[in-house]
Amino acid sequence: MLQLEQVCKNFGGLPALSDVSCVVPRGQLTALIGPNGAGKSTLINCITGVLKPSSGEIHFLNNQITALPSYQITRLGIARTFQNLKLFPRLSVLDNVLTGLTCEGGSSMLMAMLRPPYLRHRERQLKLRAMEALDRFGLSDKADWPAGVLAYGDKKRVELARATVGRPQLILLDEPVAGLNAEETAAVAEQLRRLRRAGHTLLLVEHDMDLVMDIADRVVVLDSGKCIASGSPNEIRRNPLVLEAYLGRVEATA
């Protein structure tokens, strides 16, 4: 579904990604792992058009998306969450999730002001879908709360609801359980399994190795901006390069 070919990204001459080539197969949950600073978020930002790769190509469903702006990439069916939460704190939880459906609003400013009946009907439908998404993540009772007052775990779930409400073909999740407690992590893991079962394709950036080994179909390992391995969780667990580069260092810093 997604294919990266020799993607490079430099920041002021320093390489954050060097010749990264990898694939995200349709219908699978692919985990992207690697130590801090490996380039995982940079890769997600390049895929979603937040950053432009210095060189290389990114293909999504037969579209070359390398040079496209974010909104066009979203329209093609790629949604994401951010590592550092990006919610609108003063908007309600419901309105935050509705922003995940902006591609489908499609009305002009004039029509939005006149609000003809067909548009009101459309708005109601979109609200219904947003409410369903909130329900899936156990947030219905907080729909009217300003997003800014929510606890951290709830904010992470609002991001997940927003990323999935438009039923995107590919969902990119940048550390969705970072900072959550064990119970909240288990709940999110179950949500991810459900999305996977419902046929979504997921690319999950994650630090928690137990979680990755538990829910991923495939694992891609980045280290210092390079893709050093990819394969099934079991293959990755035994790969000496990965053990040295990733697990070794985690143990060293633990």
Ligand X SMILES: Nc1ncnc2c1ncn2[C@@H]1O[C@H](COP(=O)(O)OP(=O)(O)O)[C@@H](O)[C@H]1O
| Comparison of 40 and 156: residue with beta carbon closer to Mg ion | 40
Cβ 156 to Mg ion shortest distance, Å: 15
Residue 41 found at the interface with Mg ion (CB under 5 A):
yes
Cβ 19 to ligand X shortest distance, Å: 15
Rounded-to-integer distance, Cα 190 and Cα 182, Å: 12
What letter would DSSP give residue 234? H
Rounded-to-integer distance, Cα 214 and Cα 226, Å: 24
Contact between 6 and 56 (Cβ < 8 Å): yes
| Comparison of 10 and 140: residue with beta carbon closer to ligand X | 10
Rounded-to-integer distance, Cα 236 and Cα 243, Å: 8
φ/ψ (deg, to 5) at 20: -85, 120
Site for Mg ion, residues 150 to 169, rule: CB under 5 A: none
Structure tokens at 52: 């432009």
Q: Which residues bind ligand X (CB under 6 A)?
A: 11, 16, 34, 36-42
Cβ 4 to Mg ion shortest distance, Å: 17
Per-residue interface string for the shown chain with Mg ion, residues 65-94, x marking contact by CB under 5 A: ------------------x-----------
Q: Which stretch binds Mg ion (CB under 5 A): 9-17, 33-41, 132-140, 154-162?
A: 33-41
Structure tokens at 203: 């690319």
Beta bridge partners of 60: 2, 63
* From ligand X, Mg ion, none, interface partner of 185 (C-beta below 5 to 8 A by class): none
Cβ 189 to ligand X shortest distance, Å: 20
Whole-angstrom CA distances from 50 to 13, 177, 211 are: 19, 22, 27
Cβ 34 to ligand X shortest distance, Å: 6
Contact between 97 and 130 (Cβ < 8 Å): yes
φ/ψ (deg, to 5) at 10: -110, 140
Cβ 51 to ligand X shortest distance, Å: 8
* From Mg ion, ligand X, none, interface partner of 34 (C-beta below 5 to 8 A by class): ligand X
Structure tokens at 83: 């590592």
Contact between 186 and 217 (Cβ < 8 Å): no
Beta bridge partners of 219: 31, 231
| Comparison of 42 and 191: residue with beta carbon closer to ligand X | 42
* From Mg ion, ligand X, none, interface partner of 38 (C-beta below 5 to 8 A by class): ligand X
| Comparison of 41 and 81: residue with beta carbon closer to Mg ion | 41
| Comparison of 85 and 91: residue with beta carbon closer to Mg ion | 85
Cβ 83 to Mg ion shortest distance, Å: 5
| Comparison of 154 and 175: residue with beta carbon closer to ligand X | 175
| Comparison of 107 and 224: residue with beta carbon closer to ligand X | 224
Which candidate, 22, 9, 3, 30, places its Cα nearest to that of 216?
30
